[in-house]
Chains A and B, each alone.
Chain A
Amino acid sequence: MKWSLIFLLLLLAAPGLAAERNGKCLDCHQQSAAERQVQNSAHAGELSCVDCHGSDHDAIDRGEAFVGVEVCGRCHQQQLDEHRSSRHGMGLHAGWGCTRNFSGRDRKDCRFCHREGDTQPISTVQCARFIKQSQEMGQIGCNRCHMIENSCASCHTNHRTDARIVKTPQVCAKCHMGPDHPQWEAWQTSQHGTLYSALGSPAAPDCQRCHMPEGTHNISGGLTAPPSGKPFAPQEAADQRQVMLKRCQECHARSFAESELRKADAVRLQTRKLVDEAREIIRDLDDRGLLDPQPSARLEHPQRGKELVLDGAMLYEDISHIESLFFRMNKYAAAKTFKGAYHQNPDYTHWYGNAEVKLLLNDIKAEASRLRERGGQAGNPVTGAMDEKALEILQRRHQRGELDDAEYAEKKRLILEQILQ
């Protein structure tokens, strides 16, 4: 009885304690927007400023008291675990790179990749495109989206806790839109988006309904195409497909959902094949030294140096014209094609996507012909070249896995025959 009374008194006193702990902060921050937002949030009276920001005011001033996901995780552990197991929190650092050598760097940036007192980054993955940008461009153009890995505020905003903010699909649109991955536009102008406009949630499917059912923070459930473009292992893909089908079945017959997703899978593979074809054309030009300019004659790629980069670390600056065409094809048009297909949007799948992919492939082929002609290597890409160059190209193709050992040996043998004649 006595202990229950003490517990009750402590419970009643808790908000008062928080207010007392806030006291010092509010001496100066009484009228701040942050304070007003906190007072209208679920955290009002529950948390003090120092609970999240710490009490070292110098550190706060230096930008070293960043409220990362771990701070929120102290109370919201399940959400943090879900977030970390999803693409939003898996350490992709897709928009990050070490800013150590940037002039006028913002020290706050360090807190996204380094825990306090630890010089080793949480992940060593860095984004070449980010590293190439100015500090300001990096902060607005890259970090505002890619901060999501270590910032709940990326979706929830800093001090409000109103669930309406994160239940609207608009919250996803900040990042999941635009030429490189127009999921929001594709959804909005699809049948699903139309239903949402007319009937609202929960009658119509929105981002949260399919990707964050029951409020899960694991947004990757049900996805079968990872961001790197490499397919999942068959069993893992099959398991994830079952997860998504279960969600589709809330409104659709299973067979219909299966059939639609299978079509989208096919579109993705068909598109990848076209992209691979274009990539091979450009690699071949690089092998022959016909790119203008060649990677060896440009500013170095921040991660790969003088190498030709056509994968996820590809830059859109300091590259040749044909690579620019490829960037648009791969990063914009191909992404629109299959993201449009998975979001059931006919126009994104076809006109913004597929048609652009194929038109750009035409452009790439035409540019390749022009470059070959200019370099005096028109015609057959292998036999038309000097034998030494041809061997060099074969070796690179073998190293890239395009030729198996037997094919490589046979093609080499044919070239050696030519030399001996």
Chain B
Amino acid sequence: MNKLLFWLLAFLLTGCAPAVVPLPIPQTGDLTSLSLATIKSTGPVAVAANGSLLAWSDSALTLYDLATGQQKVLFKKAVDALCWSPDGRYLAAVSTHENQSRLQVYDSRGQRVFEAGFAGRVVRLIWPQQNQLLAGALTYKSYRFGTHIKGRLIEWDQQWRQSEVPLFETTIKPSTAKRLAGQLYKTFDFDLSPLADEVLYTRLYAPPAFEARRYLILHNLQTKEEKRIGVLPLLRGKGRLTREGESVFVSDGLQRIKRLNLWSLKVQHQWAGNTFAYDAGSDLLATETGLYRGQQLLSPLPAGSLTEFSTGGKYLSVIWNRHLYLVSGYPVPVEPAITGVKREKLQKLRRLRSRKLIEPEEYLQARKRLLQ
């Protein structure tokens, strides 16, 4: 009854079509939500760190200036992935045509400042540091006996120099390739640890005579050592590394989002839902039904929300009921990032742990002492 009343009021107050229906969340404290636009289809959304600019892709790539309310179409086709630079000055987008991808970088006015092509299809783009833009690309080639797939990270530095980090290559049986036709690239997903030394990625495994599986793997970029974290459904589920890099949020496609310890694989906490957004800088989690810090619910979200945080976690874009909203004003913890010698030593300790030269427990003790 309350819900019905809410909708009725919302409709009467706004006097608009459903496009401007406010996001049904309690407006407590400083928490606010802005209704931004109606979108034609669900695609990637990215909010700049300061919340002044937002971009989304449905049938086209659109830039939205929140200060002026102006919208500008940057690219007339849908793109696969989007992200903002940490300082919020540049927007990166990747579009695909026939297993070839194109990276386009725009400034805050929407002017294209860089463009580069590369092989493969991208499912995620991240800009963890000002001098590091990363795309995870999957290339594939079909043969009579199966499809050869190759997953790699493509990296651009501040001078737009491009380099690659191969993660895996494997051949999958024809029946699996046929079943996943057109969606094969979605089997590959990745995340970078906050210390930028480890990658969590998903890898398809489907040799002949074996059931197709999709593994979640932790990969140390320096040692190339890997640890298998779990198994996910072929097209659903993802993993994101937590702030301290010792746990992982995993959605398993079965309405469960778990926080697991990376080394013991014990479940630390569990939420309901299939998709989520996580910001390692602020340690905030947004599920399909709520915004959380740790296990504390900061705000409920209407069921079915698709969310994305800005860098630093101050802003949360929400796609709900084909509308795009921007939520802000919730408390965001500010913890200084680990830098300098401490960061280097931590990376070294993690390298030793990845090679099993020290035990996870020894690493934790050393980390604790180092950060005291």
Q: Using a CB–CB distance below 8 Å, which chain A residues touch chain B?
A: 388, 391-392, 395, 412-413, 416, 419-420
Contact = CB atoms under 8 A, between A and B. Distances in A.
Main secondary structure of the interface of A (DSSP, over half): helix
A416 B358 contact: yes
Interface string B351-372: 1100111100010001001100
B357 A391 contact: yes
Contacts of A412: 358, 362
B349 interface: yes
A295 B252 CA distance: 44
Main secondary structure of the interface of B (DSSP, over half): helix
Contacts of B351: 388
Task: List 4 tightest A-B contacts by C-beta distance, closest first.
Answer: A391-B357, A416-B366, A420-B369, A395-B357
B362 to A, nearest CB: 7
Contacts of B228: none
B345 interface: yes
Given A388-B351, A388-B352, A391-B352, A419 B366 contact: yes
B349 to A, nearest CB: 7
17 contacts: A388-B348, A388-B352, A388-B357, A391-B357, A391-B358, A392-B355, A395-B356, A412-B358, A413-B362, A416-B349, A416-B358, A416-B362, A416-B366, A420-B345, A420-B366, A420-B369, A420-B370
Interface in B197-216: none
Contacts of B357: 388, 391-392, 395
Nearest to A392: B357
Q: Which of A391, A395, A413, A416 has the most CB of B within 10 A?
A: A416
A395 B357 CA distance: 7
Nearest to B366: A416
B348 A419 contact: yes
Interface of B: 345, 348-349, 351-352, 355-358, 362, 366, 369-370
A392 B355 CA distance: 9
Given A392-B355, A416-B362, 11 more contacts: A388-B348, A388-B351, A388-B352, A391-B352, A413-B362, A416-B349, A416-B358, A419-B345, A419-B366, A420-B345, A420-B370
A137 B349 CA distance: 52
A368 B243 CA distance: 47
A388 B369 CA distance: 19
A418 B352 CA distance: 14
A412 B349 CA distance: 12
Nearest to B345: A419
A413 B363 CA distance: 11
Contacts of A391: 352, 357-358
A388 B358 CA distance: 10
Contacts of B349: 416, 419
Nearest to B349: A419
Nearest to A413: B362
Contacts of A413: 362
A347 to B, nearest CB: 49
B360 to A, nearest CB: 13
A74 B345 CA distance: 73
A388 B349 CA distance: 9
B356 to A, nearest CB: 8
Contacts of B355: 392
Contacts of B358: 391, 412, 416
B220 to A, nearest CB: 13
Nearest to A409: B362
A91 B355 CA distance: 40
A416 B355 CA distance: 15
B237 to A, nearest CB: 35
Nearest to B367: A420
Contacts of A395: 356-357
A390 B348 CA distance: 14
A416 B349 CA distance: 9
Contacts of A420: 345, 366, 369-370
Nearest to B356: A395
Contacts of B356: 395
B287 to A, nearest CB: 38
B50 to A, nearest CB: 37
Q: Which of B351, B357, B362, B366 has the most CB of A within 10 A?
A: B357
